[in-house]
Amino acid sequence: MSQKILVVDDEAWVVEAVRKYLEAAAFDVVTAYDGATALAQFEAHRPDLIILDWMLPALDGLSVAERIRETSNVPIIMLTARTDEEDRLDGFGTGVDDYVVKPFSARELEARVRAVLRRSAGKEPTTLEVGALKLNREQRRLWVDGEPVELSAMAFDLLAVLMANPGRVFTRLELLESIRGETYGSFERAIDSHVKRLRQRIEPDPHNPTYLVTVFGIGYKLMKAEAA
């Protein structure tokens, strides 16, 4: 059975674009354009995940999230143009699971949806640590040697998969499947570009990586802490 997603935004074109993309990705989608309708749709359909715009008329997204959290732990991804850390912390305090900042790509949103659904299934721990790397899935934050490091959505999800399986060798297609939930052979080499950028963020020497190493002829792996 397809997982059901409630998409809430007061801009009809956003709702329609997200709906079409997620339905093409095999999700079942229900929609709403304001906070009151969002609550009604939530009660009627009990979705597996909610994509919720922060700036809704009358009843805003944060208020909707607070109401839903009174009775449910359903995963919530907040759509927002707000980038201030304090705003995000307010949302996390309310129980929001993730943020997607507008403008966003449909591919990024899908990757976030799949990652949050995997976490909500209880298959993955919130915090991962490998050597000097520390990653928090709920806050979507990474620290290297105690210093915060910003990553793109795809790079974050890629690193989370690798850190959850240190020492395991992944093919490029396996990594795409892990972070997108499906395989796209034509995009297989795109992983190489993400790995290159990720190394620039986490490696002391990106040209001589000690964490994210290439396994020639196969793919990549993240070295275990003692090896790194």
* 155 and 217 inside one domain: yes
* 41 and 107 inside one domain: yes
* 88 and 113 inside one domain: yes
Select from 91, 120, 149 the last residue of a domain.
120
Contact 127, 119 (CB under 8 A): no
* 66 and 97 inside one domain: yes
What is the rounded CA–CA span in Å between residue 173 and residue 179? 10
* 204 and 185 inside one domain: yes
Count other C-beta atoms under 10 Å from residue 189's C-beta.
Answer: 9
Report which of 124, 155, 154 is spatially closest to residue 138, judged by C-alpha positions.
Answer: 124
**pLDDT tens digits, residue range 155-214?**
888 898 899 888 888 888 778 766 654 444 445 567 888 899 999 999 999 999 999 999
What is the rounded CA–CA span in Å between residue 148 and residue 217? 33
Q: How many domains does the chain have?
A: 2
Element (H, E) at 101: strand 98-101
Q: Domain containing 186: what range?
A: 127-222
Q: Is residue 228 part of a domain?
A: no
Q: Is residue 21 part of a domain?
A: yes
What is the rounded CA–CA span in Å between residue 148 and residue 172? 27
- The whole-number pLDDT of residue 227 equals 54
Write the CATH number for 40: 3.40.50.2300
- Segment 91-105 mean pLDDT: 74
Q: Is residue 227 part of a domain?
A: no
Residue 1 has pLDDT above 80, yes or no: no
Contact 75, 116 (CB under 8 A): yes
What is the rounded CA–CA span in Å between residue 148 and residue 10? 34
Write the CATH number for 196: 1.10.10.10
Could you tell me what percent of the chain has a pLDDT over 70?
A: 84
* 212 and 148 inside one domain: yes
* 106 and 175 inside one domain: no
Mean pLDDT value across the chain: 84
- Segment 134-142 mean pLDDT: 87
- The whole-number pLDDT of residue 181 equals 46
Q: Is residue 19 part of a domain?
A: yes
Q: At a CB cut-off of 8 Å and minimum separation 6, what does 90 contact?
A: 62
Q: Is residue 102 part of a domain?
A: yes
Return the exposure string of 76-113: e unless at least 16 CB atoms fall within 10 Å of the residue's CB, then b.
bbbbbebeeeebbeebbebbbbbbbeeebeeeebbbbb
Q: Is residue 28 part of a domain?
A: yes
